[in-house]
Structure 1
Amino acid sequence: MSSRGRPRNFSREEALASAMRLFWDKGYDNTSLTDLTQAMGLKPPSLYAAFGSKAQLFIEAVDLYGRTDGAGIWDELETAPTAKAAVHDLLRRTAENFTRGGEPRGCMVVLSAPQMAGGDPEVCDALKVHRLEKQVALERRFERGVADGDLPEGTPCAAIAAYVASLQHGMSIEARDGATRETLMAIADCAAAGWDAMVAASIKPN
């Protein structure tokens, strides 16, 4: 007699990690229920009982990505001695993270965004929140740089945070398109080389 429901050795965290890698690799729309049940080792009733829906599963997977695979990129943001050093470290860690062997290339959050345009509002909102959280973290770091005298008064912290986030998003797309780690490292180094001039040029005269 066949059993229904969750497998006896069901591990929610392991199943979620499998779903995360699948969504990261294929994207939300291109990942079918069959793909998920096969990767997670669950039958559809068990998947829905554990995670509610495909959208809710994806949102949990994005959160897991932010706490695990995507987290190390940001380790030195607050501890780097200067804003410039923080950005250089962030982008070099980005280059390393986005080109690791054995994992999908690029950022799960960034790569999921374009295909979700006009899609499930709950999923779109969750992706937007994750992106904005990181951009706000950059803005706060630059505001601290101004307060510490590391960045000049009048530095447009929000605009520079958006600029750095845009660089990082572009690196994600480059990585998915096959860019080498060396190419992405060069992008990080170029950003650092032009940092002082960029900051100076961004300050509007009184």
Structure 2
Amino acid sequence: MAERGRPRGFDAGTALDRAIEVFWRHGYEGTSLTDLTEAMGINRPSMYAAFGNKEELFRRAVTRYAEADMAYARDALAEPTARRVVERFLRANADALTRPDRPSGCLSVQGGLAGGSDNGHIARFLAESRLAGEKALADRLTRAVDEGDLPAGTDPVALARYVMVVSEGNAVHAAAGVGRSALHATVDLALRAVPG
């Protein structure tokens, strides 16, 4: 019977976490295959076998990042009032953007701001990912309007977009070195726009 190949000599989850950090620090375009394989502690054939090409690896990295590093966004949607949803999301976001054990800023913002040789596939993928989060927030805020938690006439889609603009703006500022307390001061001002 033919052998099925050697078992992997590395932990795929750990390797993916290391790839996340490289993409986060350098963006998709700024990250080379050598950067990735060195950080992941594997060779190119192992990387391709486990994760596919660079784009597939990046998509998997963003999915893992969303599941782990952005779990706070899903948790915020469970808050009982719209104001608490928005506040929990923006405060947890400010904290996440400035974690000492992670690069400053946000992988989904920094990972694809610059267009590149992929004809915009990565930038579109990241934009769609961010818009999915915005839609989930808009759906939750729509429920708040329907339940009378937000005043009638509140535009939940515009409010969700505003919250995401604050979040994404804070991500850009965090990447530039703005500290946690300054980001929370921005959140304080942003919360004034939330009825209730």
Taking structure 1 as the reference length, the TM-score comes to: 0.86
Question: Cα distance, 1:113 vs. partner?
Answer: 2.9
Please say if residues 26 and 111 of structure 2, whose CA atoms lie closer than 8 Å, have aligned partners that are also in contact: no
Please say if residues 6 and 46 of structure 1, whose CA atoms lie closer than 8 Å, have aligned partners that are also in contact: no
Question: Cα distance, 1:119 vs. partner?
Answer: 3.6
Tell me which residue corresponds to 1:15: 15
Question: Cα distance, 1:81 vs. partner?
Answer: 2.6
String of CA shifts for 1:82-114, please: whole Å, max 9, x gaps.
211211111111111111102111110012231
- Structure 2 CA distance for partners of 1:133 and 1:6, relative to 1, 3 Å: farther
Cα distance in 2, alignment partners of residues 6 and 46 from structure 1: 11
Cα distance in 2, alignment partners of residues 124 and 64 from structure 1: 18
Cα distance in 1, alignment partners of residues 76 and 167 from structure 2: 15
- When the two chains are superposed, the root-mean-square deviation of aligned CA atoms in Å is 2.0
Question: Cα distance, 1:115 vs. partner?
Answer: 1.2
Question: Cα distance, 1:11 vs. partner?
Answer: 1.4
Tell me which residue corresponds to 2:46: 46
Matching of residues 85-124 of structure 1 within 5 Å: 85-116=84-115, 119-124=118-123
Matched, 1:149 2:128: no
Question: Cα distance, 1:133 vs. partner?
Answer: 1.3
- Structure 2 CA distance for partners of 1:7 and 1:39, relative to 1, 3 Å: farther
Question: Cα distance, 1:70 vs. partner?
Answer: 1.9
Please say if residues 112 and 122 of structure 2, whose CA atoms lie closer than 8 Å, have aligned partners that are also in contact: no
Please say if residues 19 and 39 of structure 1, whose CA atoms lie closer than 8 Å, have aligned partners that are also in contact: yes
Please say if residues 24 and 108 of structure 1, whose CA atoms lie closer than 8 Å, have aligned partners that are also in contact: yes
Matched, 1:134 2:133: yes
String of CA shifts for 1:62-94, please: whole Å, max 9, x gaps.
00100011222441222x232112111111111
Question: Cα distance, 1:7 vs. partner?
Answer: 7.9
Read off the aligned partner of 1:125 and give its amino acid letter.
Answer: R
Unaligned runs of 5+ residues in structure 2 are none
Larger CA deviation: 64-73 vs 114-123 = 114-123
Larger CA deviation: 152-161 vs 168-177 = 152-161
Cα distance in 2, alignment partners of residues 179 and 58 from structure 1: 26
How many equivalent residue pairs?
192
* SS class of match (1:86): helix
Cα distance in 1, alignment partners of residues 46 and 182 from structure 2: 43
Tell me which residue corresponds to 1:161: 160
Larger CA deviation: 168-177 vs 24-33 = 24-33
Tell me which residue corresponds to 1:186: 185
String of CA shifts for 1:26-50, please: whole Å, max 9, x gaps.
1111111111110111111111111
Question: After the TM superposition, which segments of 4 or more aligned residues of structure 1 sit over 4 Å from their partners?
Answer: 5-8
Unaligned runs of 5+ residues in structure 1 are 200-206
String of CA shifts for 1:102-151, please: whole Å, max 9, x gaps.
21111100122311367444423321221111101110111011111011
Read off the aligned partner of 1:137 and give its amino acid letter.
Answer: A
Read off the aligned partner of 1:163 and give its amino acid letter.
Answer: Y
